[in-house]
Amino acid sequence: MAFGSLEADALQAFVDSVKQKLHDTPGDVTFSEAERRTLDDLVRNPKPRRQRMPSERLSRTRKFEILRKDEPPFECYVHVGFFPDGRLGEIFIDADKEGSLTSGAFNAASTAMSMALQYGAPLEPLIMKWEGMRFDPAGPTGDPKHPLVGSALAYIAKWIRQTFPDGKWTELRPGQATLPSLTPDPAVNSAEDAND
């Protein structure tokens, strides 16, 4: 249902009328048969809702290489972004050779993973799928924790599993419910401006 579509507008009008009826009639509220069917459908078949990432968020970036015989290493950057509660919410992959088939495939895979996470999919089964992928570039990485991988996506999955074992930013302190504030420190900003 697209925002601004006739279906969305009709649904919003229905929700507004139900809210008004509930507000105007304290106690028992009666609904028409059509209203009951619509309410029943909304309760039994809730539509998935996307939780969008905030405009500013904490993220972490990892650079890695996959070594190749008789070629320069395949260089890749993975960027992971987090919701304010620390949950992983997005993944971006910047691969060697922008515009290549590999780069496009990584872009598609990371967009699909990000959308799945924002719609509430659990991280674990997504990571398990990536860990088992085998395609070039593959091979030694030079990373002692993950010395040999079947693909760049397999490396990324292993890194995410190791770095964020419960799918959250690991630097939350006990009792801390959200990530540190992203509010800029005026003293730091004025010092940076003075240096420019």
**pLDDT (tens place) for every residue of the chain, 196 residues total:** 444 444 556 666 777 777 777 767 766 777 777 777 777 777 677 677 889 999 988 888 999 999 888 888 889 999 999 988 888 999 999 887 666 787 888 889 999 999 999 988 888 889 999 998 898 888 999 888 999 999 999 999 999 988 888 777 766 545 555 555 544 444 444 444 444 4
185 within some domain: no
85 within some domain: yes
65 within some domain: yes
Strand-pair partners of 82: 88
Counting the structural domains of the chain, the total is 1
Range of the structural domain that residue 118 is part of: 59-163
158 within some domain: yes
123 within some domain: yes
51 within some domain: no
134 within some domain: yes
186 within some domain: no
Q: How far apart are CA 78 and CA 155, in angstroms?
A: 10
